[in-house]
Structure 1
Amino acid sequence: MAQIIPLYKNWLVAIKESDSRSAFSAIYAQFWKDLFGHALKRLKDEQQAEDIVQELFVQFWEQRQKLDIDMNLPAYLYGMLKFKIIDFFNSNKVKPQLLAYWAEDMHHYVQHHPEELDAYLHLEELLEEELQKMPHNMKEAIVLKWDQLSIREIAEKLNLSEQTVKNNLTEGSKRLQRSLLQRGNGRYSVLLCLAVQSVALLTR
């Protein structure tokens, strides 16, 4: 490790001060495989994992003039990857996987507590699993509510009465909250509270 750290610093100096593409290529070769493996474990999709890691290195190169040559390079790269994974789960996942209605508060919290990423993804998986178990109209009503449609708009789109939509949202919200509270096991106190509060807004 004593030899590796100076090597990292030499690469950073070369990139920052000389725009060295050979140093950049060395960093790329050193970290690509592990970063890709970490992203794949979280995203479960090779192409998406590859795209995110590629984007990470493009951003790293574009910001080379701002690099701290004394930084912990592995920690810096993995930190970048964590934030990109968070952004992916909040911005790029296709409905109904993207739980956008509750994502804003969760996203804000995890941005400031990247160590909570695993907990965040676990809670999201719980919600997704429960969502997939619901009757079609209940699931569709919730997804459309997350898309910020009104009760009337949802009723028209699903060809249901407004009261039926309200009933579906109320029952769906209860199911999601119950799943969070029972299967979350209280392990993620702050995130769990944010998720439960956001899901409760479905009925408003």
Structure 2
Amino acid sequence: MKDYKLLTDGELFNLLKLDDRKAFAEIYERYKGPLYIHAFNKLRDKEEVRDVIQQLFSVLWIKRNEITLTANLSGYLYTAVRNRIFKIIAHQSIQSNYIVSIQQSIASTEAITDYTVRENQLKQIIDKEIQLLPEKMREVFLLSRKSYFSHKEISEKLGISEQTVSKQVTNALKILRTKLGLFGFLLFLMKF
């Protein structure tokens, strides 16, 4: 009976290609610890490292007849671990970028929603203040600002002088400026 511990990596690999399970077990025992430490130094996640090592040895057994060593077995195993680590890091980077993108999208959506809510609230306040204007002043003001009639058109429509229309609009703006404050009034002017 062979003592597999005394065999070289090359001899173990040749036996592995002949489907020798004991050779595979010896390769596993010989390299699982050093490969684990190597991977852990890069990933710092025990579960992730266990998965990497498990996958590496699973692929080694499954593809044992397809693998051709160009150097030595340890070089092949360390390179395979390194490549798996690179894939994990790349995947984590993609996930991280995706999460940041989603967070930015959510923040942007919240900002737009917040802006829309505030805009609607301000519009309601402005509409309420307009409704509180005296009846004739409100009518003149709405024709001027919402229907976009000129002072002359309002004068003709309501049968009052252009000077009265101008005075009513000016007075309405003064009242709204007082009630809405400077900031609200400036926003009001931008909307109308």
TM-score, normalised via structure 1 length: 0.46
TM-score normalised per structure 2: 0.49
Q: Greater CA radius of gyration, 1 or 2?
A: 2
State the structure with bigger RCO (CA 8 A, min sep 6), 1 or 2. Answer: 1
